[in-house]
Homo-oligomer: A and B are copies of this chain.
Amino acid sequence: MTDSAFQDYYPDEFSHCYGCGRLNAHGLQLKSHWEGDESVALFQPEEKHMAVPGFVYGGLIASLIDCHCTGTAAAAAYREQGRAMDTEPGLRFVTASLHVDYLAPTPLASQLEVRGIVTEITPKKVVVDARVMADGKVCAKGRVVAVPLPKSMALKITGKK
């Protein structure tokens, strides 16, 4: 893994996300890295993230997959253009669709490993397949279709054209 996470390169105005924003003190602060052609994020659930005692609630799994995959989409788009993530123009992605298959109860006590792989990349969308593992076992699989942030929304957020 490299030292800096994808999310560390997000400009401040894009770093407030509950799932992955480094400036959201109450959030999950997910950090994703390349490991060869796969992206990886590690996350330790807290006691409050339970569904039933001992197991993680489904919304957390969905959140981890969502943020890990949109981060992976951005990183993949920079990589496709042969640019580092701290170069301009910035590339930001939002989720068009999210699918999660819950395969096995996910333990609350274990560190979770989220792995993503880009299965399609075009100027209009990036598709990322993900799996969430605990203790080496796949507990959930997911797919995110990420699309570039609409310019109208980017303008609202940054004030820049």
Asked whether A53 is an interface residue with its Cβ less than 8 Å from the other chain, the reply is: yes
Any B CB within 8 A of the CB of A84: no
When all copies of this chain in the complex are counted, the total is 2
**Chain A contact residues (Cβ within 8 angstroms of B): what range?**
35 or more
State whether A18 touches B98 (Cβ < 8 A). Answer: no
Instruction: Please tell me if the beta carbons of A94 and B102 are within 8 angstroms of each other in the complex.
Output: yes
One of A9-17, A71-79, A109-117, A123-131 contacting the partner: A9-17
Q: What secondary structure prevails in chain A residues at the interface with B?
A: mixed
- Inter-chain contact B48/A27, CB cutoff 8 Å: yes
Give the distance in Å from the alpha carbon of A51 to the alpha carbon of B94 in the complex.
Answer: 10
For chain A, residues 49 to 86, give those with C-beta under 8 angstroms from any C-beta of chain B. Answer: 49-54, 57-60, 62-64, 66-67, 70
Q: Which residues of A come within 8 Å of B, CB atoms?
A: 13-14, 16-19, 24, 26-27, 48-54, 57-60, 62-64, 66-67, 70, 94-102, 105, 153, 156-157
